[in-house]
């Protein structure tokens, strides 16, 4: 993930985009580390486990506070059953999701626009990096993804305005690997409560 400095130093702009570059999909089952752009890597580490065939996803966060304390949180989404689970050190809460349709977050949609293409590295070890944008939520927001080596995600993000106000998020992706090493990451605790934590 922190290829940003390296990429900035090695990038050279390419003019017209090759016609062979079209929207694509990466693995429908994958795991990766996410770091939000602008935040210290030492403070927050996110891990994403994505299983589109199984209609489930798990997002874990480890937030290291200045005093050394690590706050570990887990969010599990079971789209097949329409349930989501928020797990913290003081308990687990289950809630009903507003949809059972799992987003195809491993694909660039056909209506996406390629907004840039770059080449990094030096011959003969160059790699092509492409960035795509597309509208979501009726056009009020825009998502983007930067891919490398054909169709491996390098950076993702969203910006625009939601019902909660302006939103701008960008994540660098590292440790990308296909498949799920341990499917127990999708297991929800049996003692989850429907009452919000702290109530």
Q: How many CB atoms lie within 10 A of CB 31?
A: 20
CATH code for the domain in which residue 136 is found: 2.50.20.30
Is the separation of the CB atoms in 2 and 42 below 8 Å? no
Write down the pLDDT at residue 2: 32
Give the mean pLDDT of the chain. 81
Q: How confident is the model at residue 50 (pLDDT cuts 50, 70, 90)?
A: very high
**pLDDT tens-digit map of 69-120:** 888 899 999 999 999 999 988 889 999 998 888 888 899 999 999 998 888 8
Does residue 196 lie within any of the structural domains?
no
Q: How confident is the model at residue 21 (pLDDT cuts 50, 70, 90)?
A: low
Residue 14 has pLDDT above 60, yes or no: no
Q: How many CB atoms lie within 10 A of CB 10?
A: 15
Count Cα atoms within 13 angstroms, Cβ side, for 123.
Answer: 0
Residues 6+ apart with CB under 8 A from 8: none
Q: Order of strands, edge to edge, in the sheet holding 141-148?
A: 12-13, 113-120, 127-136, 141-148, 152-162, 165-178, 29-36, 44-51, 56-64, 70-78, 83-88, 91-96
Q: What is the 3-class SS of 127-172, one letter each residue? A: EEEEEEEEEEHHHCEEEEEEEECCCEEEEEEEEEEECCEEEEEEEE
Count of the separate structural domains present in the chain: 1
Does residue 193 lie within any of the structural domains?
no
Does residue 72 lie within any of the structural domains?
yes
Does residue 197 lie within any of the structural domains?
no
Does residue 194 lie within any of the structural domains?
no
Does residue 95 lie within any of the structural domains?
yes
Does residue 195 lie within any of the structural domains?
no
Give the domain extent around 81.
4-186
**pLDDT tens-digit map of 157-178:** 988 877 777 888 888 999 999 9
Q: How many CB atoms lie within 10 A of CB 20?
A: 5
Does residue 191 lie within any of the structural domains?
no
CA distance 164 to 77: 22
Residues 6+ apart with CB under 8 A from 27: 106, 178, 179
Predicted TM-score (pTM) of the model is 0.78
Sign of CA dihedral 124, 117, 148, 26: negative
């Amino acid at each position: 993930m922190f290829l940003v400095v390296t990429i900035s130093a090695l990038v050279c702009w390419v003019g017209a985009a090759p016609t062979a570059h079209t929207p694509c999909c990466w693995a429908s089952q994958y795991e990766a580390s996410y770091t939000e752009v602008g935040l210290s890597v030492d403070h927050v580490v996110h891990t994403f486990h994505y299983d589109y065939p199984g209609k489930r996803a798990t997002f874990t966060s480890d937030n290291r506070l200045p005093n050394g304390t690590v706050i570990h949180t887990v969010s599990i989404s079971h789209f097949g059953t329409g349930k989501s689970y928020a797990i913290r050190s003081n308990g687990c809460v289950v809630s009903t999701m507003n949809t059972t349709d799992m987003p195809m977050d491993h694909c660039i949609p056909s209506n996406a626009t390629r907004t840039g293409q770059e080449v990094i590295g030096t011959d003969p070890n160059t790699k092509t990096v492409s960035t795509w944008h597309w509208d979501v939520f009726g056009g009020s927001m825009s998502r983007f993804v930067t891919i490398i080596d054909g169709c491996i995600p390098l950076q993702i993000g969203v910006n625009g305005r939601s019902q909660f106000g302006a939103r701008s998020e960008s994540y660098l992706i590292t440790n990308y690997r296909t498949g799920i090493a341990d499917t127990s990451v999708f297991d929800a605790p049996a003692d989850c409560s429907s009452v919000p934590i702290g109530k």
